[in-house]
Amino acid sequence: MKNTPRWELRRPLRVVVAFMIAALVCAGVSACGGSGSSDPNTLNVLSWETYHNPAWLDAFSKETGIKVNVVNVGSADEMFAKVKANPNQFDIALVTSGWFDNYAKADLLEPIDADKVAAAPSPGFDWKTVASSGGKQYGVLYNWGDQPLAWLPGSIPNTPEMAKYLDDKGQPNDWNILWDPAFAGKVSLFDDPTAVLPMIPLALGMSDPYNLTAEQFTQVQEKLSALRPQIKRLTSGFNDQTTQFASGEATIGYLNNIASVPALRKEGKTLLVNNEVKQGVPAWSDNYAITKGGAAKIDSVYKFINYTMTVPWQARFIAASGNSGTLSLAQATSPEAVSAGLNQEALDATLIPATAGGENFFKGLKFFQPVENLSKRVEIWNQFKLGIGA
């Protein structure tokens, strides 16, 4: 299967369905994409597409004698459902920020022993807070990214009405531009409430998009409903949204994955993005988490985690996938990273260069956090979907 960015396979949040499927299917462990093993030299990992290249895993196995079996999932809720339904099937899970409370409350994870992490990631932001629950760290960063505002060159009308959405460079800098009638039927949005809904309260000027009051919920639902005329259809993943921009079906939108930019560039097309929209930009991180089953293989688990945190592994991963990984800008531009394949063109396709802005850049990123009412968010999203294309 060709390499595709992390968000391509993230399907809409279907918590109830996911739990039902997991409960029925995972009764037979092998039916869930692999079986658990008590062998301390065999690790079963729940991951995302492009994160763990089979050839790289083979090299790790040859060097350490530890075999790694990887199963990729399509959404954060699917991953949680699999671990909850069969806690001993997987040893490691790549858990998304905002989900650690769910795992911790279900007692599915072991706290991270910081002394066993050879080199803690230092990408420039506080990744530990969103990989923790109840004051305990349960995750180690493996990858991160954001959901920026994107548009095609020449798609922004040169009219006085547009001025209120633009910055001093003339580029869109306000989420509310997505609601402007000038873009009716031309806005691209993907089908994932976990990733999309935080943008709506930000557009309304709310400072915390993850903890809404009852009054704010009403405002968010009304704002979301008002977006329907702008959207012909919701895209189903990275490739679908990339194609939508490539064809001109959409000219502006909320971007699923920054890797759409280099993908379109390969087709000779340009997609412009703003990772620093004035109201803030939703962001995510994926983190290694150790299950209760993995605790029985703790030495092998940390050997694997540490191996994949090295500069050569991360540089190769970043170059191959277009993701941002764990490297700092200094590490990503080091001779070691360059020799592993992370050239300037590949680096420019990531968010790593933007980290040079330090706090000025990161303060605008709103990393996924546990939300106040997950079921209510899913409910308003499903109601929103019913009115699209009507």
Q: Return the closest-CA partner of residue 190 out of 250, 260, 256.
A: 256
Q: What is the reported pTM? A: 0.84
Q: What is the mean pLDDT of residues 35-52?
A: 88
pLDDT (0 to 100) of residue 390? 55
- In sequence order, the 6+-apart residues with CB closer than 8 A to the CB of 302 are 113, 116, 117
pLDDT (0 to 100) of residue 388? 85
Going along the chain from its start, the domains and CATH numbers come out as 42-146+283-367 (3.40.190.10), 149-183+232-274 (no CATH)
Which tokens in the block code for residue 140?
A: 């180690």
The pLDDT tens digits for 162-204 are: 999 999 999 999 999 999 999 999 999 998 888 899 999 999 9
Residue 10 pLDDT grade (very low, low, confident, very high; cuts 50, 70, 90): very low
Residue 7 has pLDDT above 50, yes or no: no
Residue 15 pLDDT grade (very low, low, confident, very high; cuts 50, 70, 90): very low
Q: Return the closest-CA partner of residue 139 out of 210, 79, 72.
A: 79
Residue 11 pLDDT grade (very low, low, confident, very high; cuts 50, 70, 90): very low
Residue 31 has pLDDT above 70, yes or no: no
The pLDDT tens digits for 322-359 are: 889 999 999 999 999 999 999 998 998 899 999 999 99
Which amino acid belongs to residue 144?
A: W
Residue spans of beta strands (DSSP E) within 184-239: 187-190, 234-235
Residue 149 has pLDDT above 50, yes or no: yes
Which amino acid belongs to residue 197?
A: L
Give Cα 109 distance to the centre of its chain: 20
Q: What is the mean pLDDT of residues 231-236?
A: 93
Q: What is the mean pLDDT of residues 89-118?
A: 96
In sequence order, the β-bridge partners of residue 253 are 150, 188
pLDDT (0 to 100) of residue 36? 62
According to the per-residue pLDDT averaged within each range, which of 118-132, 177-191, 230-244 is highest? 177-191
Task: Share the mean pLDDT of the chain.
Answer: 89
Residue 37 has pLDDT above 60, yes or no: yes
**Pairwise CA distance, residues 255 & 261, whole Å:** 10
Share of the chain above pLDDT 70, in %: 90
Residue 217 pLDDT grade (very low, low, confident, very high; cuts 50, 70, 90): very high
Q: Which tops the pLDDT comparison, 31 or 218?
A: 218
Which amino acid belongs to residue 145?
A: G
